[in-house]
Each structure stands twice: as structure tokens, then as C-alpha cells.
Amino acid sequence: MLNKSIKFLIENKLVAVLLLALFIAWGVVNAPFEWNTGSLPRDPVAVDAIPDIGENQQIVFTKWDGRSPQDIEDQITYPLTTSLLGIPGVKTIRSSSMFGFSSIYIIFEEDIEFYWSRSRILEKLNSLPAGLLPEGVNPALGPDATGLGQIYWYTLEGRDKDGNVTGGWDLQELLSIQDFYVKYALSSASGVSEVASIGGYVLEYQVDVNPELMRQYNIGLSEVVKAVKQSNKDVGAQTLEINQAEYLIRGLGYIKKLSDLENAVVTSKDFTSIRIKDIAKRIKFNVQTDNLKQANDAEEILIKNYETGTIDFNDVLDVQELQLRFQINLIESNRGYYTEYAIINYLTK
């Protein structure tokens, strides 16, 4: 068969030249380089800087704040590990119990399809018997990515268009812009599995109660917690008909400013409302550290899907619009971190 094909191409040189031209054009169309192909369409193949040679594994992450590693191991890691052993195709299970959270690494056989294994784990987690885990603890399956899925690191920094540092942006504001604007723009890109944030601060309100005043009014700390929870929600009711028109009755209770929290009613004594500010030393807003990283910017990581190559996000996020709106630069991290996007961007230019 091979000899006949070679003989045919030798005898029909025009056909051989046409096939060669066809294959060259096909290669140019699918080449991952920024070539000017003219009238030819562009359909570059996905390129990875480093091949994924990791094991076929999934991660189950469970968070239980404030608990010691021994409590995490006894009440979360061990029960979950024994329950997940019966999943078909499981090769081995490894676990790690840290302060406040548990990580379980489920390694499957190489012939097990990646997303099929995720569906089996989700079925198992949804069918866990009642009382197996502590109340309020919900295990979650990790993103559909591998250890080499971190393709792009970037930071949000307060700088003008000339690159000069601009004032007025603290870490809490940068993290808020990341979580409510930039993160959604990047998550809309095809193939993005997760946008993880590192650094920054989370805004929180702190109520410092006065124990003497609480004892005087006979108020427990649980009542204060309940009042704070109920002071920030809307409630609905029925309708009221007036002059053949129906009016919807709603109770608007979302906190708009700090005084709304101060005036939240805890209880009443002798027909007099006792508010939070009557038993608290002060009510202030503060920032809580998002994680261990401390820096002068908010840093984020893009994680791609398991079956997706490196992605070009320039068409997804309008950096110039972001800069004009917030005077914040989205820049590639240049601190020696692994950035697959930067490697591919360099090699394909």
C-alpha cells in the first residue's frame, strides 16, 4: 500500500504539489504563532508551556473554622476518607488535616475519565449519611484543574496611565474591585476554572459590647448576635388593597450606614427599646486579613480547566476601561512566579 502511494505521487507530480500546499496552508492556519495569514482564517491550536504529567486526582476541601488539626482529622478527614474509598476506579486516597480545614486527595487510575470521576465524587458527597460530619460542615469538590493549571498571575495596583503610584486605594478597596469586577470578567472566559485571590482585606463590622451594661439589662451575648443577624435583611408581607389598587407590603431592613446597625433593637424593657448602641462601647468597621499574604497590592491567580490550553484574556478584559474607571493597573506579576500565559505569549510572538 505504501509503495503504491509513493509511486502514485511520483507519477502525478501535480497532485503531490497540491497536497503539499494543502498541508502547508493547514499548518499555517493552526499554527500557535501570530502570523499574518492574509485571507486565510486563523484557528491556532491550544499550547501548554509545560505538559501535564500529574496524577489523575481530585481534591475534596472541607472547612471548619477554629478547630485543631486533631479535631479535623477525627471528625472530618477520617469519616470522609472511609466513605470515599468505595468509589469505582480509586487508586489511593491521601489526606491532610490542618488548622481549620481538611484536604483529601483522591487519586484515580489513569484510564478513568477526568469528569466522570468528578461526577462519582459528587454523587458520593450528596449521599453521605446524616450525622457523619459536624453540623454546618459542607465538603466541597475542588476546581476542575490540575496542579499545572495556574496559567496567569496578576496584581491590582493603584497607578495612573504613566505608571505612577496613585493614592486613595487601600488593600480592602483593591480586593473589592477584584472580587466584584475583575473576577467576573475573567471568569467569563472560555476555559477558566477559577479565579483565586491572594492578599487584600475583607471589610467587616465589629461590635464591642459592654459587659456591665449587658448585665444591667439582663441581656445575653446570643441575643446581641441574633439582633445583628436580623437587622440586615428585607422581609415580605401580603398586599393591601386601597381604592381598587393593590400595594405590596415590604419591610426594608438592609444596612446602609453604620447608624442603621447602631439602632438595631436587641430587646425592650418597660416599653423602652434597648438598642445595640445602648449596650456597646463602640461600633466600628475594620478589615479582616483575607489570608497570610501581606503586600501593598491585591494579587490573583487564574486557573484553567483540565482540558483547556493556555488562554488569551486580552479579548475578555478591557484593561484600558478598567484603568480609566478606577485608575488601577492590571499587570502581570513579575515576582518570579510561574506564569504559563507569559511563557506562551513570549514564545508565540
4-28 tens-digit pLDDT: 888 888 888 888 889 888 888 888 8
What's the chain's length in residues? 349
In a domain, 50, yes or no: no
Residues 31 and 21 in one domain: yes
Residues 285 and 312 in one domain: no
Residues 37 and 173 in one domain: no
Residues 68 and 183 in one domain: no
Residues 170 and 283 in one domain: no
In a domain, 88, yes or no: yes
Residues 128 and 166 in one domain: no
Q: What is the number of domains present in the chain?
A: 4
Residues 14 and 113 in one domain: no
In a domain, 172, yes or no: yes
Residues 169 and 298 in one domain: yes
CATH number at residue 188: 3.30.70.1320
90-109 tens-digit pLDDT: 888 988 899 988 999 999 88
Give the span between the Cα atoms of 297 and 287, in whole angstroms: 15
Task: State the cell numbers at 186.
Answer: 475573567
Residues 181 and 324 in one domain: yes
**Res 77: pLDDT:** 92
Residues 115 and 16 in one domain: no
In a domain, 51, yes or no: no
Give the span between the Cα atoms of 92 and 324, in whole angstroms: 51
Instruction: Using the Cα atoms of residue 71, residue 207, residue 225 and residue 211 in order, give the sign of their dihedral.
Output: positive
Average confidence (pLDDT) over 262-286:
81
Residues 66 and 212 in one domain: no
CATH number at residue 80: 3.30.70.1430
In contact, 52 and 151? CB cutoff 8 Å: no
Distance of CA 219 to the CA centre of its chain: 40
In three-state secondary structure terms, 260 is helix
Residues 294 and 196 in one domain: yes
**Res 207: pLDDT:** 85
Range 330-336 contact pairs with CB under 8 angstroms and sequence separation of 24 or more:
330/154, 330/155, 330/156, 330/182, 331/154, 331/155, 331/157, 332/152, 332/153, 332/154, 333/153, 333/154, 333/155, 333/299
Cα–Cα distances in angstroms (integers) from residue 6 to residues 13, 14, 18, 113, 118, in the given order: 11, 14, 15, 40, 48
**Res 335: pLDDT:** 43
In a domain, 52, yes or no: no
Which residues have C-beta within 8 Å of that of residue 35, sequence separation ≥ 6?
28
pLDDT classification of 285: cutoffs 50, 70, 90 = low
pTM tops 0.75, yes or no = no
Give the span between the Cα atoms of 349 and 317, in whole angstroms: 20
pLDDT classification of 308: cutoffs 50, 70, 90 = low
What range defines the domain where residue 25 resides? Answer: 1-45
In a domain, 113, yes or no: yes
